[in-house]
Amino acid sequence: MSPKTKSAYTVPKLKDFSTNALHKALIEAKLAFSEELLNANSDAAWKVFRDRWMARKNGVLTQINDLWLKTAPKENKREAGQLVNELKQFVEQEISRARGFVDGGAAELAVGLERLDITLPGDRRALGAEHPVIKTMNEIVGVFRNLGYSVEEGPEIETDYYNFEALNFPPNHPARDTQDTLFIANQEAKPLRERLLLRTHTSPVQIRSMEKMKPPVRVVCPGKVHRNDAPDATHSPIFHQVEGLAVDTNITFCDLKGTLDHAMKALFGSSVKTRFYPSFFPFTEPSADVQISCIFCGGKGYRDGGPCRNCKASGWIELLGCGMVDPNVYGFVDYDAKRVSGFAFGMGVERIAILKYGVDDIQLFFNGDVRFLEQFG
Ligand SMILES: [Zn+2]
């Protein structure tokens, strides 16, 4: 009987699961497979053949698994399993071997299946880009690294002690209110200074750094901070800060001014001017806000024949806070306030990114819209 007229192999249901019966079934299946392999002598026939045996849904191997293994009585299961595995390996091996042969119909066809069309366009993988906030943060950190500062990081979940107390915040300071700060729930039983919260600034890292090292200290602390703010165009419950701290003997307000003036010029261009005017922070005394000359109107207060929107026609933009470290803070970290002095400063990374890139809504940084982000690639 020629193979072409013989009816196609169908997986028999087994009633007898004895060793002999299983082996007979296995040999029949192998023979049927080999015969069909030889007859798969066209592109289309090879595909049909391969799918007939390998298809996960209703392929011959799947059927064999269902009809021989799943229905086998407990005592024959082990042997049936071994045979089914053997057949599976045999079929997979022969199919991949048929592809590898140089001669033989199936092999040529298999090569045909894998032929490369070099005129097809390749798969393009879009390049990722640094997020504008991270990019800006790295740029700021880079400016201070060049001045000899080292980088320190700390936990985002802080204790009240590090976030407020050691930074000289009085117990009734409004920042400690839940309206401003996100506290971890159910901690009323703990003493105030041990209660956990999401840090509202990166200043706790300054305290941790001073606990770790003795003066001279020069560190920048980049990181994520949290406030109990509803998101809108200028507010976000999460944002980023870079703070800096320098403590040594004989550090004066002049050093602070020179350092920040240099940093602003490095970030916004050498024509940018800075000015300082009095402010208040619990952990610095005296404290100052720093403004830079408006980068949109060049400090003139007007542009395109009208008042400048960005600086509200004042010619200045408020950018960061700073000051000389309050001597009380040294008491918390065991520094001799009579011998050392230092300054600290802090800036919002998003605020600087908004100015640098002309973004008008802080939410764009966090929405994850690729159309926005890819502009910074
Ligand atoms: Zn302006």
User: How much distance in Å is there from the Cα of 234 to the middle of ligand 1?
Assistant: 18
CB 26 within 8 A of CB 64: no
CB 197 within 8 A of CB 129: no
Region of 307 on the Ramachandran plot (φ > 0 left; ψ -120 to 50 alpha; else beta):
beta
User: How much distance in Å is there from the Cα of 76 to the middle of ligand 1?
Assistant: 86
Mean pLDDT to the nearest integer, 350-357 = 92
Which pLDDT does position 2 carry in this prediction?
46
User: How much distance in Å is there from the Cα of 216 to the middle of ligand 1?
Assistant: 39
User: How much distance in Å is there from the Cα of 57 to the middle of ligand 1?
Assistant: 68
User: How much distance in Å is there from the Cα of 345 to the middle of ligand 1?
Assistant: 24
Looking at residue 50, what DSSP letter applies?
Answer: H
pLDDT above 90: percentage of residues in the chain: 52
User: How much distance in Å is there from the Cα of 364 to the middle of ligand 1?
Assistant: 23
CA–CA distance, 202 with 208 (Å, rounded to integer): 10
The C-alpha angle 241, 244, 245, rounded to 5 degrees, equals 150
Q: What is the largest CA-CA distance in the chain?
A: 109
User: How much distance in Å is there from the Cα of 140 to the middle of ligand 1?
Assistant: 22
User: How much distance in Å is there from the Cα of 292 to the middle of ligand 1?
Assistant: 10
Which pLDDT does position 113 carry in this prediction?
56
User: How much distance in Å is there from the Cα of 306 to the middle of ligand 1?
Assistant: 10
Bigger pLDDT: 126 vs 253: 253
CA–CA distance, 48 with 54 (Å, rounded to integer): 10
User: How much distance in Å is there from the Cα of 21 to the middle of ligand 1?
Assistant: 91
User: How much distance in Å is there from the Cα of 373 to the middle of ligand 1?
Assistant: 26
The answer to pTM > 0.85 is: no
pLDDT above 70: percentage of residues in the chain: 93
User: How much distance in Å is there from the Cα of 289 to the middle of ligand 1?
Assistant: 18
Bigger pLDDT: 279 vs 310: 279
Q: Is the pLDDT of residue 223 over 80?
A: yes
User: How much distance in Å is there from the Cα of 351 to the middle of ligand 1?
Assistant: 15
User: How much distance in Å is there from the Cα of 25 to the middle of ligand 1?
Assistant: 87
Mean pLDDT to the nearest integer, 335-361 = 93
The predicted-structure confidence for 17-43, as pLDDT tens digits, reads as follows: 888 888 899 999 999 998 888 888 887
User: How much distance in Å is there from the Cα of 319 to the middle of ligand 1?
Assistant: 13
Question: Tokens 């840090």 appear where?
Answer: 199
User: How much distance in Å is there from the Cα of 293 to the middle of ligand 1?
Assistant: 8
Bigger pLDDT: 105 vs 119: 119
pLDDT band of 254, cuts 50, 70, 90: very high
CA–CA distance, 203 with 152 (Å, rounded to integer): 11
Q: Is the pLDDT of residue 316 over 70?
A: yes
User: How much distance in Å is there from the Cα of 185 to the middle of ligand 1?
Assistant: 44
Which pLDDT does position 114 carry in this prediction?
59
CB 286 within 8 A of CB 245: no
Which residues are CB-neighbours of 205 under 8 A, at least 6 positions away? 152, 153, 154, 219, 221, 223, 243
User: How much distance in Å is there from the Cα of 305 to the middle of ligand 1?
Assistant: 12
Q: Is the pLDDT of residue 270 over 50?
A: yes
Q: Is the pLDDT of residue 166 over 60?
A: yes
Over the chain, what is the mean pLDDT? 88
The predicted-structure confidence for 112-138, as pLDDT tens digits, reads as follows: 555 666 777 777 777 778 899 999 999
User: How much distance in Å is there from the Cα of 301 to the middle of ligand 1?
Assistant: 5
The predicted-structure confidence for 63-75, as pLDDT tens digits, reads as follows: 998 888 888 888 8
User: How much distance in Å is there from the Cα of 136 to the middle of ligand 1?
Assistant: 21
Which pLDDT does position 103 carry in this prediction?
41
Which pLDDT does position 95 carry in this prediction?
83
Mean pLDDT to the nearest integer, 207-227 = 95
The predicted-structure confidence for 328-337, as pLDDT tens digits, reads as follows: 999 999 999 9
Question: Tokens 């022969």 appear where?
Answer: 94
User: How much distance in Å is there from the Cα of 356 to the middle of ligand 1?
Assistant: 13
Which pLDDT does position 111 carry in this prediction?
52
